[in-house]
Structure 1
Amino acid sequence: MSDVATYPYPLVVFDLDGTLVDSAGDIAEALNRTLEDWQLPRVAEATVLTWIGDGVRRLVEQAFTAAGSTIDLDRVMPGFMVHYRECLLRSPRLFDGVAEALQQLQGRGVPMAICTNKPSALVQPLLDHLGIGDRFALVLGGDSLPQRKPSGEPLRHIAGHFGAAPGDCLMVGDSLTDYRAALDAGMPVALVRYGYPRGLDLQHNEAVAVVDDLRQLPGLRAG
């Protein structure tokens, strides 16, 4: 018998890269292969981390701007997407505690969704590769709607799909982009200390929780 009624949130919405999956090395490699295609120098993964979160076009734009390039991004993006697909399953891994937390939530009948700025066509293959493809009732990518995070519209759309009020649901993310999206949607947010926070103040914010491990999500062991 489901005990979803005992869980404080009727829906949990997760960010993907940096929250569930450590994919920075693969994203960095795809970006660096693209830079090499245009005879530009590779950049350190630590630098790429500061660019992840706002969608692939913005990622590439920041890298080429940092390299001093004025190449039209419309010429660059097709090649980048080829590399992105080729590197997608190169070395991703789930962060510690992710598999167990998702299993607990699913076992309690709590619906879960993904809200990511990653291109939607690349999300399900990644989830399936990591063995969590059946955990989510809805997956929303960065190109699924006209808006993407940090707009709150994707979160409002997801909540509406499940017939839930945004203010009753929980968003779980790692970045300032996630945090701003949740605030814009009026959705409570839990933040993780790992991932790619990019300027997010983990000490002073309006999050309902800041955790080191998803097994510490509020109310996960309650009931």
Structure 2
Amino acid sequence: MFRSVRAVLFDLDGTLIDSAPDLGAAADRMRQLRGMASLPLNRYRPMTGSGARGMLQVAFGITPAHADYGSLKEEFFTHYTECLLQRTQPFLEVQQLVEVLRERGLAWGVVTNKSERFTLPITRAMPLFSTAAAIVSGDTTPHAKPHPAPLLEAARRMSVSPAECVYVGDDERDIVAGRAAGMRTVAARYGYLGAGADVAAWGANAEVTSPLELLNFLEVA
């Protein structure tokens, strides 16, 4: 049980929303335009948490060290912009979780490594985020996760101390960032996780297999 909690912060992709279908579609569109066979979503989904890097790795087997990575990344961003909200939806139970948090008097917010050019259109279009007290993107501060700066900025915007926050995410960098910020951390096992992820080794204070499980760990301040 986490005591004296006043706010809950969440990662975005893989924690609050399932954006894998749109991210995967953007990368797969690039394959199709090159006459390559389409890949099934289950090939893209485990790498969704890595954003463009993960999608291009699946689609073309390249890493950021590849000479064409920069141009391919920008092409990917163009295609993704065109389909941001075609298939993206909140995970099951997320809407209910947010409603219960508000009923308990807890503030909530988002800290994601997704850049503002994508985060803001998504969160402005989806009703889920209308009650979020803070939305911090990967380029809102000079540093992205696993640096604690974005989480500390979210706490500042919500007028709560980091020690009064819980941070929930589906990637090891989320847990690293949360711990560095002095927050309690929860690993979302229902998220993308990444290939071969050893969640138990991340060092989170708790793990959940569904969004509503989080409520079992929260004690209101």
TM band (smaller chain): 0.7 to 0.9
Q: Which amino acid aligns with 2:203?
A: E
Matched, 1:201 2:205: no
The separation in 2 between residues aligned to 1:95 and 1:191, in whole angstroms, is 15
Select the structure that is richer in strand: 2
The separation in 1 between residues aligned to 2:68 and 2:101, in whole angstroms, is 45
> CA shift at 1:123, angstroms?
2.1
The separation in 1 between residues aligned to 2:42 and 2:88, in whole angstroms, is 16
Partner of 2:109: helix, strand, or coil? strand
| Residue-by-residue CA offset, 1:88-139 (whole Å, 9 max, x unaligned) | 1111122121101101112333221111111213223323444212121111
Which of 5, 8, 19 does residue 9 from structure 1 map onto?
Answer: 5
Partner of 1:109: helix, strand, or coil? coil
* Residues 7 and 107, structure 2, Cα contact 8 Å, conserved in 1: yes
Q: Which amino acid aligns with 1:212?
A: T
Which of 165, 171, 190 does residue 167 from structure 2 map onto?
Answer: 171
Residue 96 (structure 2) aligns with: 100
> CA shift at 1:165, angstroms?
2.8
Partner of 2:168: helix, strand, or coil? strand
Q: Which amino acid aligns with 1:147?
A: H
Which of 142, 147, 157 does residue 146 from structure 1 map onto?
Answer: 142
* Residues 169 and 187, structure 1, Cα contact 8 Å, conserved in 2: yes
Which of 188, 191, 197 does residue 192 from structure 1 map onto?
Answer: 188
Select the structure that is richer in helix: 2
TM (norm. structure 1) is 0.82
* Residues 105 and 220, structure 1, Cα contact 8 Å, conserved in 2: no
* Residues 20 and 95, structure 1, Cα contact 8 Å, conserved in 2: yes
Query: Alignment RMSD, CA only?
Result: 2.8
Report how many residues are paired: 217
Equivalent residues in 2 for 1:10-159, closer than 5 Å: 10-38=6-34, 42-56=38-52, 58-59=53-54, 62-63=57-58, 66-67=61-62, 70-159=66-155
The separation in 2 between residues aligned to 1:204 and 1:76, in whole angstroms, is 33
- The gaps in structure 2 that reach 5 residues or longer are none
TM (norm. structure 2) is 0.83
- The gaps in structure 1 that reach 5 residues or longer are 1-5
Partner of 2:167: helix, strand, or coil? strand
Residue 211 (structure 2) aligns with: 214
Matched, 1:183 2:179: yes
The separation in 1 between residues aligned to 2:217 and 2:62, in whole angstroms, is 45
Range moving further from structure 2, 173-182 or 127-136: 127-136
The separation in 2 between residues aligned to 1:60 and 1:203, in whole angstroms, is 25
